[in-house]
Amino acid sequence: MAERIANASFASKVMSASDAAALVPNGAVIGFSGFTGSGYPKEFPPALAQRMRVARDAGEDFRISAYTGASTAPELDGALAETGGVQLRSPYQSDPSMRKAINAGTTYYSDVHLSFMAGQVAAGFFPKPDFAVIEVSAITADGELVPSSSVGNNRTWLELADKVILEVNSWQSEDLRGMHDIYYPIGALPPNRVPVPITSAGDRIGQATLKVDPAKVVAVIKTSDPDRNTPFKPIDDDSRAIANYLLDFLHYQVKSGLIPKNLLPLQSGVGNIPNAVLDGLLHSDLENLSSYTEVIQDGMIDLIDAGKLTVASATAFSLSPDYAHKMNENAAFYRKHIILRPQDISNNGEVIRRLGVISSNGMIEADMYGNVNSTHVMGTRMMNGIGGSGDFTRSAFISCFVSPSTAKGGKISAIVPMVSHVDHTEHDVHVIITEQGLADLRGLAPRQRAKVIIEKCVHPDYREQLKDYYERACATSTFQQTPHILSEALSWHERFNETGSMLQA
Ligand code: 0RQ
């Protein structure tokens, strides 16, 4: 794959992953590429994990801090977490071993909105990365980098790190070249910021390649390993029901003249429900759709193939193996419809607000007033992280949250008196949808919201229980803006911890 490294100076730095890992000292802060299982370095992290393991087995301390774009894969988050040597992890993860290390308290996890991470590291809120370890699909003759299947925070890590290690991955399609839009310069600090000049989801405002100072490149590793892609589960009844409520709601917004016939740019999280929504769009009469979102999923590829989705802006792919294969075969076609941007641009609040994005994200739980917990199970156990949900929710024209009304076989209600952790406040949450129904909370005050949420979203097994709590809170609370019985507000969570179910006996 000589042609993938078209620059002689970079080619002269090719070495093995373990030789590259040997360059990293104890205490290093590393900015990795990688976003939702795509575009992460595949060979270097396991080699580094091996180095850490050997050092730690010999009684030496060897810890590193790891920044990424978002979640990665077992080869990165899993391998590093299993050494027990990750000091700090940020911003988003979803790996079982990393989650375990975070919840055991051996790894600090700073859970930052994805669009903010690069700027906060540049500003010095976090330690600056010593190393950037970045997967690319090619290095051009003039030493620029063709990104691979995610952009994430790569341009910022490349700019801020003292040393750079590149993985050139020949599994990635060469035709990805031209799909990316890398906006330079990297975000200036206040008071020198300027508007991000995107006024339509399909605008290109940057260049196709990433820049790197060749003097900083200390190693180049050749790989041909595939991204970690997980197949989607077949769409289940609850997801289908939730998707139908959302699509009916969108049709009604069109009919009432609030939004155009081709909707507004859509953002959707990943998973079974968003997949069902995309499938619903595919089978609807809607056309000329656009998407300003975080990741490109299978359903968007189907919509592009059907000619219904004109353009999709994101920062990464999150494709099943079949669709990743399709992308690799047809990237020259898809790059006419897909733009991959740095995550501070794909998730940029200023742009999201200007475009009027309609957002839709999953949640762990919501409370009867519309506060949403996306991250913590029973208030203390980290699940994944806030990801881009806050970037989109706060700035969306219409923000939606979707979830089955219960979890763990009905033992947990997704609608509770008070959320055990707040990621999205009642001020930001416009619509909540479960398989039971849709609560349109726009313009409502807390007590009005509670009535709609209890009526539309709560599972019948929990409806009377929540209604009873709400009525007693209204009857006994001195202040009536947001009535609660504080001694009871988290009793459903306590009951689950004690008995294994939130249901009252
Ligand atoms: O547990 O994995 O043990 O089966 O959480 O739940 O219902 O499969 O839903 O995959 O959409 O995940 C909030 C975690 C939902 C996700 C969250 C348990 C449930 C199951 C997964 P198991 P589901 P999802 C931009 C947006 C934050 C990031 C984000 C998330 C597991 O959506 O990480 O929004 N969001 N990014 O059993 C205890 C509850 C529970 C619960 C669910 N109330 N209590 N466990 N679970 N509800 C992203 C992009 O644009 C890419």
Write the burial class of residue 36 (CB in 10 Å: 0-12 exposed, 13-18 middle, 19+ buried). buried
- Fold match flag (8-223 vs 357-505): yes
Task: Tell how far the Cα of 376 is from the centroid of ligand 1, in angstroms.
Answer: 10
3-state secondary structure 353-410: HHHCCEEEEECCEEECCCCEECCEECCCEECCCCCCHHHHHHHCCEEEEECCCEEHHH
Q: Could you report the per-residue pLDDT of 122-177, keeping only the tens digit for each?
A: 999 999 999 999 999 999 999 999 999 999 999 999 999 999 999 999 999 999 99
Task: Tell how far the Cα of 467 is from the centroid of ligand 1, in angstroms.
Answer: 25
Rounded to whole angstroms, how far apart are CA atoms 484 and 495? 18
Q: Could you report the per-residue pLDDT of 469-500, keeping only the tens digit for each?
A: 999 999 999 999 999 999 999 999 999 999 99
Q: Could you list the active site residues?
A: 294
For atom 44 of ligand 1, the residue with the nearest CA is 377
For residue 186, is it left (φ>0), alpha (ψ between -120 and 50) or beta?
Answer: beta
Ligand 1: which atom is nearest the Cα of residue 404?
7
Residue 111: both structure tokens together: 């859970």
Residue 29: both structure tokens together: 């802060």
Which residues surround ligand 1 with Cβ inside 6 Å? 36, 269-271, 293-295, 361-365, 374, 377, 383-384, 386-389, 404, 407-408, 412, 414
- For CA atoms 49, 54, 56, 62, the dihedral sign is negative
For residue 215, is it left (φ>0), alpha (ψ between -120 and 50) or beta?
Answer: alpha
Average pLDDT of 226-252?
A: 93
For atom 9 of ligand 1, the residue with the nearest CA is 362
Share of the chain above pLDDT 70, in %: 100
Q: What is the pLDDT of the chain when averaged over all its residues?
A: 97
3-state secondary structure of 493: helix
Residue 2 pLDDT grade (very low, low, confident, very high; cuts 50, 70, 90): very low
Residue 234 pLDDT grade (very low, low, confident, very high; cuts 50, 70, 90): confident
Q: What is the DSSP string of 433-451?
A: EETTEEEE-TT--HHHHHH
3-state secondary structure of 270: coil
Q: What is the CATH number of domain 8-223?
A: 3.40.1080.10
Task: Tell how far the Cα of 149 is from the centroid of ligand 1, in angstroms.
Answer: 24
CA 114 to chain centroid: 7
3-state secondary structure of 485: coil
For atom 12 of ligand 1, the residue with the nearest CA is 362
What are the distances in angstroms from CA 171 to CA 76, 159, 382, 388, 470?
18, 26, 33, 27, 56
pLDDT of residue 48: 98
Residue 240: both structure tokens together: 């289908």
pLDDT of residue 1: 46
Residue pair 484/418 in contact by the 8 Å Cβ criterion? yes
Average pLDDT of 20-46?
A: 98
Query: How many CA atoms are closer than 13 Å to the CA of 13, on its beta-carbon side?
Result: 23
pLDDT of residue 229: 81
pLDDT of residue 477: 97
pTM over 0.90: yes
Beta strands in 189-315 (DSSP E): 217-223, 266-268, 289-292, 295-297, 309-314
Average pLDDT of 444-453?
A: 98
For atom 10 of ligand 1, the residue with the nearest CA is 271
φ, ψ of residue 57 in degrees (nearest 5): -65, -30
- Is 384 labelled a binding residue? yes
Rounded to whole angstroms, how far apart are CA atoms 146 and 177? 6
Ligand 1: which atom is nearest the Cα of residue 414?
43
CATH architecture of 357-505: 3-Layer(aba) Sandwich (3.40)
On the question of pLDDT at 63 being above 70, the answer is yes
Ligand 1: which atom is nearest the Cα of residue 403?
7
Task: Tell how far the Cα of 159 is from the centroid of ligand 1, in angstroms.
Answer: 33
Residue 320: both structure tokens together: 């099943």
pLDDT of residue 271: 84
Q: Which amino acid is at 372?
A: V
Best of 272, 364, 373, 435 for a ligand 1 pocket test (most atoms within 8 Å of beta carbon): 364
Domain ranges in the chain? Answer: 8-223, 357-505
Task: Tell how far the Cα of 4 is from the centroid of ligand 1, in angstroms.
Answer: 38
Ligand 1: which atom is nearest the Cα of residue 268?
50
Residue 246 pLDDT grade (very low, low, confident, very high; cuts 50, 70, 90): very high
- The H helix count followed by the E strand count for the chain is 17, 25
For atom 51 of ligand 1, the residue with the nearest CA is 269
Q: Which amino acid is at 196?
A: V
φ, ψ of residue 312 in degrees (nearest 5): -130, 120
For atom 34 of ligand 1, the residue with the nearest CA is 389
Task: Tell how far the Cα of 363 is from the centroid of ligand 1, in angstroms.
Answer: 6
Residue 80: both structure tokens together: 């590093």
Task: Tell how far the Cα of 318 is from the centroid of ligand 1, in angstroms.
Answer: 16
Ligand 1: which atom is nearest the Cα of residue 270?
51
- Is 78 labelled a binding residue? no
The size of the chain, in residues, is 505
3-state secondary structure of 340: strand
